[in-house]
Amino acid sequence: MALSGLKHECVFASEIRKDLRDLYKINFPNTPHIEGDITKVKIKDIPDHDILCAGFPCQPFSQAGYQMGFDDKGRGNMFYVIRDILKEKKPKYLFLENVANLKGHDGGNTWNTIERELIKVGYGIDECILSPHQFGIPQHRKRIYIVGIRRDQGTINDFHFPEPTNEKCDIHDIIDESDSNYIPLKEETRNYIETWSQFVKLAEENNCKLPGFPIWAMEFGADYEYENTPPCHQKASQLKGKHGKLGSVIIGKSKAQMLAQLPIYAQDTRKEGEKFQDWKIRYIKQNRDFYSKNKEWIDNWINKIRTYQNSHMKFEWNCGNNASMTLDDKILQFRASGLRVKMPTFSPALNLVGTQIPIFPWVDVPDSDLKGRYMTIKEAAKIQGMEQLSFSSNMSPTRCFEALGNAVNVEVVKKIAQELLK
């Protein structure tokens, strides 16, 4: 979309998912070749082209994944397919995108391999980590962009990535309150939000500043040993009688029964003599200290979450100390790490997980006296620079969000391409 907007013509596209190939055809019906699995396409059959654009799978390099890199067969080695196309087709420019963690993955070895292979097939390259929010677009989406020029065609030294403008972001700019095509909040979800809203209100009433570290409510009232010897290597007698998840007394006839009464993250199996990670030790200590200082008002609230799933017992306040102590005017997002609360400036990155769609609690729900709904597909498309995108009627809302979450930001790509193609 970015390059078409700059008057370039797509001559070939490859996308492994059929519904996304259909999406290409709907939006770019004149593209002569839209193929499936690129590993099954003969390189000689790919048309000659001036610019190769590619995003190779990010999961092998993402901080959220197993970080297997090139050892992730079928995904991690997709980069080599790109290299082979460059080697045979020799386009003048290359334009790649991946997760920001790519350069630091495996102590820099992954990046060194990518750089070496691209140089070996004849390209001068440059790279930069950029996010739409740096240009006033209300989405925080740090990605590494890699550009290259074939060395016999020019020098990369003349290229400069666009400088961030750091314009103010406001999520209200993309919200359409009249959009009726929204996913409603389940009653259960509203209950989770209301419970944590009460927590925030109680904190304010008791002059408690919400911490910058993640709140792990499972640690409230706990006193099991965790710093020197992880519970998995403790004897049953060391666990029995201690307080585990939400301060409940640990009982049971077997060690397995007792371990099950700890917070899920404290049940980790570690090697003999291996401690918990430093960050985990720090978060447990911080949460116990927080509870100790605020026990009086927390104990009046804690029963509300006893039946919640683990992730719903976690809470992240990303709003600092000066924000209003309410969730009503913030961006909310349910993640594996808990309910995350952000200022209404820019959205967290859209991602492949359909359950992590941002929530706008202040938006009126049409034909209802309720407030609060998920970001709509149109709004998500807008923060990706894809307002004109047409979706197939066969694609579910969740799948539409997954597609947008797997896409590059059009405006950022356009800004880089304008510099590269001068």
**Is 232 inside any structural domain?**
no
Q: Which token pair is 215? A: 């709140």
- Residues in Cβ contact with 409 at an 8 Å cutoff, skipping those fewer than 6 apart: 132, 137, 139, 141, 143, 383, 384, 385
Eight-class DSSP state of 259: H
pLDDT for 354? 58
pLDDT for 67? 43
CATH number of the domain residue 91 falls in:
3.40.50.150
**Is 317 inside any structural domain?**
no
What domain count does the chain have?
1
Q: Does 340 or 270 have the greater pLDDT score? A: 340
3-class SS of residue 390: coil
53 is catalytic: no
pLDDT exceeds 60 at position 317? yes
Q: What is the pLDDT of residues 211-223, one digit of tens each?
A: 999 999 999 999 9
pLDDT exceeds 50 at position 116? yes
Mean of the per-residue pLDDT values for the chain? 91
**Is 54 inside any structural domain?**
yes
**Is 247 inside any structural domain?**
no
pLDDT for 268? 87
**Is 151 inside any structural domain?**
yes
Report the pLDDT averaged over residues 203-214.
96
Burial class (CB in 10 A: 0-12, 13-18, 19+), 382: buried
Q: What is the pLDDT of residues 261-298, one digit of tens each?
A: 999 999 988 888 899 999 999 999 999 999 999 999 99
pLDDT for 61? 47
Q: What is the pLDDT of residues 46-72, one digit of tens each?
A: 999 999 999 887 554 444 444 444 454
User: For the chain, how long is the longest CA-to-CA vector?
Assistant: 74
Report the pLDDT averaged over residues 147-169.
95
Closest CA to 383 of 226, 204, 174: 174
Q: How confident is the model at residue 151 (pLDDT cuts 50, 70, 90)?
A: very high
pLDDT exceeds 50 at position 75? no
- Alpha-carbon span 55 to 240, nearest angstrom: 52
Report the pLDDT averaged over residues 20-29.
93
Q: Which token pair is 64? A: 């959220």
pLDDT for 353? 63
Which entry of 58, 169, 319, 400 is annotated as an active-site residue?
58
**Is 58 inside any structural domain?**
yes
**Is 206 inside any structural domain?**
no
**Is 123 inside any structural domain?**
yes
- Alpha-carbon span 65 to 76, nearest angstrom: 12
Domain span holding position 161: 2-167+405-420
